[in-house]
Amino acid sequence: MFTAHFRFLSVALLLCTPSLGLCWAGDNLAAETRPNIVWIVVDDMSCHFGYQGETLARTPNVDRLAKEGTVFTHAYATAPVCSTFRSAMITGMYQTSIGSHHHRSGRGELSIELPDGVQTVPEIFKAAGYYTCIADARTEKKGKQDYNFSYDQNQLYDGVDYRKRQNGQPFFAQYHLRGGKLRNVETWYKETVQGLEGKVVDRKLIKLPPYYPEHPVIVEDWAQYLDSVNYTDIEVGRIVQRLKSDGVLNNTVIFFLTDHGISHARGKQFLYEEGIHIPLIMWSPQRQGQPQVRDNFVAHIDLAATSLGLARIPIPNWMQGRSFLDDNANPRQFVISARDRCDETVDRIRSVRMGEWKYIHNTYPNRPYLQPSQYKDSKPFMPILRELHASEKLNVAQSLQMRDIRPQEELYHLPTDPWELNNLAALTDHAETLMQLRELLSQWETSTNDQGRIAESEAMYDSDMDAVLKKMRTKNPEAFQQYQVNISLMKLWQSQGK
């Protein structure tokens, strides 16, 4: 069942993908005829674009990519937080297989090295003659990397601007957008409002998911998030227009995706749909006028193999991602996502999304769902949620994420329960489904060498925490103190076997 994850997809199979109209025939075409590959990666944003049915979204640029390109409706992040997502994305490997599963890990005295033989996608592109670059779409300076392993930036990327490439040289470019982070930084949100010419979302029209209370602070936060969606669309439009103005759009394949869901109580860092279900669009000049919607499961690590295949670069046999354009490959029957330590907060959650079902396994059921986290607790919605919960003003759905303990297993039937509010794991009617997904996860953990099965060493944890505390001591004394409190609590709970 799992050997397909590691199969070698020969370049011959990927020269042409007829079903998508993408074909560069011939084995010995000059390098300059190969397509340019562009990744547009957005921070902290769930499926809230116009083409996905969000009525308050004004996203004509992204919607056009979707209308003219291929939309993948069941795309999932294998990790619901920035650094683990990006570590997986840039290698085409599960973050759990390469030891990069803890958020912002390997940043202290103890480093993390990639397994022998594993390379990053830009290194592979560079070796094949591509110019590689990564840019912050706003500043056009070096873009966000955030990888949880040791690497030489000069070895991965040639620069920040594809215009610096040699004449006729194809390029692999990444653009990283701030996305949902625009609402949490005052100066960035002001920029958003200005960019939208003051046409912000009508707060009176905001409709929250049923697990969030209709509190003014939470409504305002969600409205600013939707404003960030609309401004992100403007930034996407600028990127596409630049490619067009430079005369390279007609030989460029664009991938648009987000790195995980909205940073909210049930979103980022967690494995509910709000956290791991992401938008994914592939646009190419050959597909204009031939839009396509695909509902097969796609993992974000598949982006690596797909991009290499389009460039006619052999896909390494160690790469776990698979090309989602290869009609000769078996489509994924399921997608597995994993959350491990996020900053100072120790956790381990795994999920399986297969068919109509979502299975979640919590390794620490005796800990609160929302453990203390300096990052999460600094968000405007968290004090409100904790206050309303303490005063018993939350309904059943809104109280789910506020529990002091959580079930070890969760099972949701998404067609009838899209918000994942009704846990069916304890019902005998679904015992067979539960057992099947539980066994599927166990097999995956073994076959992919899920390194999260072994708890992080205290030495590595301390190394990473020391690196963070060193920065925060003077930069943010209040956060520094809260980090220390939370670190002590994590160690206490560990000593108690909690």
445 occurs within a structural domain? no
Please answer whether residues 348 and 101 qualify as being in contact, where contact means their C-beta atoms are separated by less than 8 angstroms: no
176 occurs within a structural domain? yes
Q: What is the CATH number of the domain that holds 190?
A: 3.40.720.10
Burial of 484 (0-12, 13-18, 19+ CB in 10 A): middle
Please answer whether residues 117 and 318 qualify as being in contact, where contact means their C-beta atoms are separated by less than 8 angstroms: yes
Taking the model in full, what pTM does it have? 0.93
Structural domain that includes position 240: 35-329
**Dist. CA 69–CA 10, nearest whole Å:** 25
183 occurs within a structural domain? yes
423 occurs within a structural domain? no
**Dist. CA 277–CA 335, nearest whole Å:** 11
312 occurs within a structural domain? yes
144 occurs within a structural domain? yes
Residue 10 has pLDDT above 70, yes or no: no
198 occurs within a structural domain? yes
61 occurs within a structural domain? yes
Residues 174-190 have pLDDT tens digits of 999 999 999 989 999 99
- Per-residue buried b or exposed e for 244-276, using 16+ beta carbons within 10 Å of the residue's own CB: eeeebbebbbbbbbbbbbbbbbbbbbbbbbbbb
Residues 353-376 have pLDDT tens digits of 999 999 999 999 999 999 999 999
Structure tokens at 473: 């001591």
Q: Which helix (H) or strand (E) holds 322?
A: none
Q: Please give the tally of structural domains in the chain.
A: 1
**Dist. CA 87–CA 119, nearest whole Å:** 11
Residues 255-281 have pLDDT tens digits of 999 999 999 999 999 999 999 999 999
Q: How confident is the model at residue 352 (pLDDT cuts 50, 70, 90)?
A: very high
Q: Which of 308, 396, 306, 406 is nearest to 348 (CA)?
A: 406
Mean pLDDT to the nearest integer, 98-122: 97
**Dist. CA 378–CA 185, nearest whole Å:** 12
Residues 374-393 have pLDDT tens digits of 999 999 999 999 999 999 99
